[in-house]
Amino acid sequence: MAAGLNFFAGYPITPASDLFEYLAERLPGRGGVVIQFEDEIGSINAVIGAAWAGAKAMTATSGPGFSLMVEGLGLAIMTETPLVLVDVMRAGPSTGVPTKTTQSDVYQVRFAAHGEYSIPVLVPWSAQEAFDLAVKAFNIAEALRTPVILLTDAALAHTWERVEIKDPKEINIVKRRPPCSPPERFKLYEPCENLVPRMAYFGEGYGILVESLAHDEEGYYSPNTETYERLVRRLVAKIERNSHLIVDNEEYLTRGAEYVIYAYGSTARSAYAVVKELRREGLRVGLFRPKALWPFDAGSLRRATESARKVFVVENNLGKMVREVERVLRDKEVIPINVIDLEVPPPDKISEEIRRWL
Partner 1 sequence: MSAHPLDKYLVTKRLPHIWCPGCGIGVALAAILRAIDRRVREGVLKPENLVMVTGIGCAARAAIYVSFDSAHTIHGRAIPFASGAKLANPKLEVMVLGGDGDIAGIGGNHLLHAARRNMDLTVFMITNMVYAMTGGQVAPTTPTGMYTTTTPKGNPETPVNVIKLVAYQGANYVARASTTHPALIERYTYRALGMEGFRFIEIISPCPEIFGRHIGFRNPVELYEEIKRKSKYKPKPSLEESDLDWERGWVLGEFIERNEPGYLRRIGRV
Instruction: Point out which residues bind partner 1 (CB under 8 A).
Output: 6-7, 9, 28, 33, 35, 37-39, 41-43, 45-55, 57, 71-72, 74-75, 79, 201-213, 220-221
Cα dihedral 247→252→256→258 (10° resolution) = -100
Let me know: does 21 contact 160? Beta carbons within 8 Å.
no
Task: Name which of 203 and 256 has its Cβ closer to partner 1.
Answer: 203
| Smallest distance from partner 1 to CB 37, Å | 6
Q: Which residues is 260 bridged to in the sheet?
A: 286, 311
Task: Name which of 182 and 282 has its Cβ closer to partner 1.
Answer: 182
Task: Name which of 62 and 79 has its Cβ closer to partner 1.
Answer: 79
| Smallest distance from partner 1 to CB 215, Å | 9
| Smallest distance from partner 1 to CB 191, Å | 21
Which phi-psi region, left, alpha or beta, contains residue 207 (left: φ > 0; alpha: ψ -120 to 50)?
A: left
Task: Name which of 40 and 353 has its Cβ closer to partner 1.
Answer: 40
| Smallest distance from partner 1 to CB 208, Å | 5
| Smallest distance from partner 1 to CB 321, Å | 30
| Smallest distance from partner 1 to CB 43, Å | 7
CA distance 212 to 201: 16
Task: Name which of 48 and 174 has its Cβ closer to partner 1.
Answer: 48
| Smallest distance from partner 1 to CB 79, Å | 8
| Smallest distance from partner 1 to CB 293, Å | 26
| DSSP element (H, E) containing 287 | strand 285-290
Report angle CA 119, 125, 127 to the nearest 5 degrees: 110
User: Could you give the maximum distance between any two Cα atoms of the chain, in Å?
Assistant: 69
Beta-strand pair 249-252/285-290: antiparallel
Task: Name which of 70 and 298 has its Cβ closer to partner 1.
Answer: 70
Task: Name which of 51 and 195 has its Cβ closer to partner 1.
Answer: 51
Task: Name which of 114 and 162 has its Cβ closer to partner 1.
Answer: 114
Contacts of 35 (CB under 8 A, 6+ apart): 8, 9, 46
**Residues composing the chain:** 358
Question: Phi and psi dihedrals of 33, rounded to 5?
Answer: -115, 130
CA distance 38 to 16: 16
CA dihedral (263, 267, 269, 273) positive or negative: negative
Report angle CA 105, 150, 326 to the nearest 5 degrees: 50
